[in-house]
Chains A and B, each alone.
Chain A
Amino acid sequence: MEFNDDAVKMQDDVGKPWRYEEDGCTVTRTCVWSAPGCHPVGCGLKVYVKDGEVVKIEGDENHPVTKGRLCVRCLAMKDFLYHPDRIIYPMKRDRADRGKDKWERCSWDEAIAIIKKNYDEVKEKYGVQSMVAFMGTGRQGNIGATGAHRVLGTPNGCYPLSGFSCYGPRVSITMDVIGSSYPEIDYAGGLPGGYEDPAFTVPEIIIQWGKEPIYSSPDGFFGHAIIDLMKRGAKLINVNPRITWTGSRAIENVRLRPGTDAALAMAMLNVIIEEKLYDAEFVDLWCYGFEQLAERVKEMPPSKAAEICEVPEEQIIRVARLYANAKPASIAWGVSIDQSPNGSQAGQAILALMSITGNMDVPGGQVLVDMTAGDGGMQEDIDSVGWPEMKQELRDTIIGREEFPFYTGGLKMSQADRQLDALETGKPYGIHLTWLGETNIIAPTCSAQPKRWYDALRKVDFNFATDTWMTPTIQGCCDVVLPLASSLEMETIVPTHYGGSPNYVGALNKCVKCGEAVPEWELYRILGLALNPEAWENREKDFKEFYDIAMMRAYEFDYDELQEKVVIQRDVSYRKYETGKLRPDGAKGFNTSTGRIQLYSPMFEAVGENPLPYYFEAPTTPISTPELAKEYPFTMMSGAREIGYFHSEGRQIEKLRDLCPDPLVELNPKDAETYGIKAGDWVRIENPWGLAFLKAKVTPIIKEGYIQAQHGWWFPEEDAEAPHLYGVWKSNINTLIPHSRMGKLGFGAPFRTTLVKISKAHEDDLVEADRFGLEGEDGKPLVHTDNFFRIDDPTLDPTAR
C-alpha cells in the first residue's frame, strides 16, 4: 500500500481535556468498570458521541498504564450498549408466570411500588432478616453489601458462590496476616514514569501462581502488564496444572496436582528456611511467629510435597531457590487459591513466602496500600455503609454466624453454603424475599449446584433483579426487574482492587443514556428511599456527594478533580512499614494486632483454625474418596477465563461469540484416543451431582486424567422459557460441583478438584439435552428418558460439612 509520507505523520490525543469536540462528535475520556463485566481495572476510553448515540470507541492513549490498549469487551462496547436483549426499562411479571416470557414494561414508579408492597408485607410477617440481597462478581464492589445493609436493612448480603471461592478468602487472609487488603505485584502502576520511573525495579522473577492474568485481566490488574515486564527482562515461573500460553515462555512450569498449593508453598518455605535464603533482617524486625512457622514447614520437606503435588522434588527445590535469590521477585496469586477448601492455608503460606524473602512493599515486589492517604483509607467504612447503624440483635441473625465467625464477621456477608441451606430448609429461618443484584446465579460463575439454587429461589415469595441483560436466572425466578446502566452511562470511580491496591483511581465520566437504565448507586438510593428511608433521607443526594462525603475520606482529591484528570496515579511509596504509612495511626510496622506480619495467626487460633499453614487433601479426589474415583476417574478443573466473556456475560454479542462460539472442555490427546473422542465432538461429563455436555478441545497442555471445563455457558439464542431457559442446563458444569465442602473458616470449594467421568456423547443424549424442558407439538412438556440434569443427592455427600 502506498501512502504519501507527508500525509502519514502520526499524531495522538495525549494532553486532550476530559471532554472535547472533534469532527462533529463530543469526545469524552473515561475509564471503565462494569458493565461490561470487569473487576476494577479501569482501562481508558475515548467515547465519540453524535446526536446522543455512541458512534465510536477508542482506547485512550492518555491512560498512564493502558496507553490506548483495550480488550475485546470494551472494543465491542457499542454492541453491548445497543443490543436488543439489554434491559433498559423496568419490567414486571405475575408471580404465577415465573419462567414464562410474559414480561410487561412498566414505569419506575410502578416497579418500585410492587417491590415496596412485597417488602412491607414480608418485613411485617417475617422480619427483615428473612430477606437476602445477592451480589454477583466484579460489579461496583465499593457499594456491594450496601444493597443488603442499607437498602433492605437485612444483615444477609450474600455472594452465593460456594465457600465465597473468589477473592474474598485471599483478601480476608491478607487482612489478617499483613493488615492490608491485597498484595498486588508491583507493575509501576502508581508511578508517573511507569516502568521507566527511577523508583521502580523490574522484578527478576514473577511467579504466576494459579493465575494467567493476560486473559483474566479484569482482576484489578491490567493483565498485559505481565507482557510489558517480560519485555523488560522479567522471567516467569508458572505454578499451574496446565501449560498456559505464558507457560510456553516461562523458565519453569510447576504442574502441580490441583488443590495441593499449600503443600507446595510449605515445601518452598522449607527449602528457603533450611538453606537460610530468607531475609533475616526483615524477618527479625517485621515478622511474628517465624520460629513456629519454621517448625511447621519442617513437616513438609520437598520430597513429601513432591509426592503430594506430583511434581519432581528437584523442581520444588530449584523454584524455591530461584524465587528466594531473585531480588526483587513477585508472586501473582490467582483465584485458584480461593477455589480450594485448603486455600486459606495456601494463601497464608504464599504470604509467608512474599514476606520472609523481603519482597513485601519493595520496588518490583508486592505493593501495599498507603493507609494514611485521605483520612486513613477508611475503605472498610465505605464497604459497610448501613452495617454500623444496624442493631446488634439483627446483625447477630446473619446466616452462618456461629459456625463461621471469621467469614461473616470479616466480610459482613452471610455464608454462601448456609444461605442455600436456609433457602431449602427454612432453617434457621425462612427466606421470603430476595434481590438478585447483577448475578446470574443459575448460569454460574457464582454458585455450585445451580439447579438447587434455582429450585429454592423459585419457591421464594418475591424475587426482584437489577441487571443489564435478561438472563436465565431472571427469566426463571424473578417478578420485577430494574434496568442498570453500563459504564458509559454513569458517573462513578474505579479504584484498582476496590481501593485495596495503591496504583491508580479512574473516573467514569458519563457519555450517554440508554432508555431508563440508572447507575448502581442511584438505583440503591431510589430503592433505599422507598424501602428503608431512615438510612437515606437527608443524606447524600447523588454519587458525587456520596463520594465527597464517604469515599473522599480515602483519597486526597475530590470528585471534580478526578473527573477532569480522568485518572490519578496514587504515587506508590515503598517500605511503608518504616514510615508509618501502613497503619491509620501512623505508627511504624504493619496494621495487625502485633504490628508485624503474622506468620503465626492469633486470629485464626481465636476462631478455631490452626494458626499456622497446613496441608489437607481436597474433599473429592482419588486420594480422599478412592471409591468415588473408581467410577469417576477424571479430575475436572473449572474457572479459567475466556477473554471475550465476563463469566456468563457476553454470549449475545456476535463479535465476542465468534471468538469462542461453543462451550469447550480441554482433554489430553491420549485420553481422547482412549475414549474415542475427536476435536469438536460433544463430550458427556457426569458425576453423582450433575451432568453437562461440552465440546472437546484436544490439547497436550492438560495432563492425562484431567479435564478443564469452561463455565458460565447458556445460549441466549435458544428458547427463553422455563424449564428450557436458554438451554442453561446443557453445558452447566457447576451442576457437577458438590456443595458445602468449605474449609474451617467457611472458605473454598472443590471447583478445581471435581471427580467426573467422561464419554463421547450419544446422538440421543444430545437430542435429549437440546430438547430438555421444551414442549412437544401438543403443547405438553416432553417426557425425558433419563434423569437428565439430576440434582444433588445428599446421600452421596458423606464428606459435606
Chain B
Amino acid sequence: MSEYGLLIDYEYCTNCHSCEVACEETHDFPPEARGIRVFEDGPFEYADGKWNWNYVPVPSDRCDLCARRVMNHQQPACVHHCLAQVMQFGRIDDLVEEFKKKPRQVLWMPN
C-alpha cells in the first residue's frame, strides 16, 4: 500500500477547464461543488515588461483521486483529458522525484 497524489506542472496550465469538467462528468458533481478548481494568479506586469500570469489547479476535499477509475487501471479523468498534459497521477514517492526536476509545479496529496 502506498500514498498516491497528483503532480501538476502549472507552468503550462492554460485554464482550459478540461480537468474541471472531466471531473464533474465522471463523478456527476455539480459545477459549484466539483473535485477540482483552477485558480488564477495575475495577470500583472513587472517593471521589466515581463508578465506574471499563472493558473493553478487545486483539487477540492471531494477529490478521491478517481478511486474507481484507478482501481480499474485507468488514469484519473482530469489527468486523462488535460489538454496541456500537465497532470500526473502516481505514488507520492515517485512524484517527489519528478517534482525535484522542474520548477513551477505543485504536488498534491488528498486527505
Contact = CB atoms under 8 A, between A and B. Distances in A.
A224 B83 contact: yes
Contacts of A75: 18, 21-22, 25, 81
Contacts of B15: 245
Nearest to A223: B83
B97 interface: no
B39 to A, nearest CB: 14
A239 to B, nearest CB: 16
A246 B51 CA distance: 10
Contacts of A25: none
Interface string A209-245: 0000011000000011001101100000000000101
Interface string B55-76: 1000000001101001101110
A654 interface: yes
Given A68-B80, A227-B12, A700-B44, A3 B1 contact: yes
Contacts of A224: 14, 16, 83-84
B4 interface: yes
B21 A655 contact: yes
Contact of A5 (B16, B31, B91): B91
Nearest to B50: A248
A644 B44 CA distance: 25
Contacts of B65: 1, 3
B1 A2 contact: yes
B14 A248 contact: no
A66 B53 CA distance: 26
A227 B25 contact: no
Contact of A11 (B1, B11, B73, B80): B73
Contacts of B45: 243, 700
Contact of A3 (B4, B21, B85): B4
Given A59-B81, A69-B82, A658-B32, A644 B1 contact: no
Contacts of A214: 14, 16, 83-84
Contact of B14 (A4, A57, A76, A245): A245
A587 interface: no
A701 interface: yes
Q: Which of A61, A224, A230, A699 has the most CB of B within 10 A?
A: A224
Contacts of A644: 17
Interface in A48-71: 57-59, 61, 67-71
A76 B25 contact: yes
A700 B43 contact: yes
A57 B44 CA distance: 38
A1 B83 contact: no
Interface residues of B, number: 45
A8 B71 contact: yes
Interface in A74-93: 75-76, 78
A699 B43 contact: yes
A227 B87 CA distance: 14
A659 B51 contact: no
Contacts of B48: none
Q: Which of A10, A78, A243 has the most CB of B within 10 A?
A: A10
B18 A69 contact: yes
A387 B104 CA distance: 56
A73 to B, nearest CB: 9
A72 B21 contact: yes
Contacts of A68: 80-81
Contacts of B82: 69
B83 A71 contact: yes
A70 B18 contact: yes
Nearest to B70: A8
Nearest to B43: A701
B16 A230 contact: no
B67 to A, nearest CB: 7
A699 B55 CA distance: 16
B27 to A, nearest CB: 12
B52 to A, nearest CB: 7
Contacts of B12: 227, 230-231
Nearest to B49: A253
Given A248-B52, A700-B44, A701-B43, A70 B4 contact: no
A506 B7 CA distance: 33
A623 B45 CA distance: 29
B74 to A, nearest CB: 7
B42 to A, nearest CB: 7
A3 B22 contact: no
Given A3-B1, A5-B2, A9-B73, A248 B51 contact: yes
A76 B53 contact: no
A82 to B, nearest CB: 13
Given A78-B25, A700-B43, A700-B44, A1 B81 contact: no
B5 interface: yes
A562 interface: no
A227 B14 contact: yes
Q: Which of B51, B71, B82 has the most CB of A within 10 A?
A: B51
A679 interface: no
A643 interface: yes
A247 interface: yes
A376 to B, nearest CB: 36
Contact of A247 (B51, B75, B80): B51
B25 A57 contact: yes
Nearest to A699: B43
A767 interface: no
B51 A2 contact: no
Given A2-B1, A3-B70, A230-B12, A659 B43 contact: no
Nearest to A70: B81
Contact of A72 (B16, B71, B110): B16
B53 A643 contact: no
A96 interface: no
A606 interface: no
Closest 3 CB pairs of A and B: A658-B31, A248-B53, A248-B51
Interface of A: 1-5, 7-11, 57-59, 61, 67-72, 75-76, 78, 214-215, 223-224, 227-228, 230-231, 243, 245-249, 643-644, 654-656, 658-659, 699-701
Given A69-B82, A227-B12, 10 more contacts: A3-B67, A8-B73, A10-B75, A57-B25, A70-B83, A72-B16, A72-B17, A214-B16, A224-B83, A659-B21
23 contacts: A1-B64, A2-B1, A2-B2, A2-B3, A3-B1, A4-B1, A8-B71, A11-B73, A59-B80, A69-B82, A70-B22, A70-B81, A71-B16, A72-B16, A75-B21, A75-B25, A214-B84, A227-B84, A230-B12, A644-B17, A655-B25, A656-B21, A659-B17
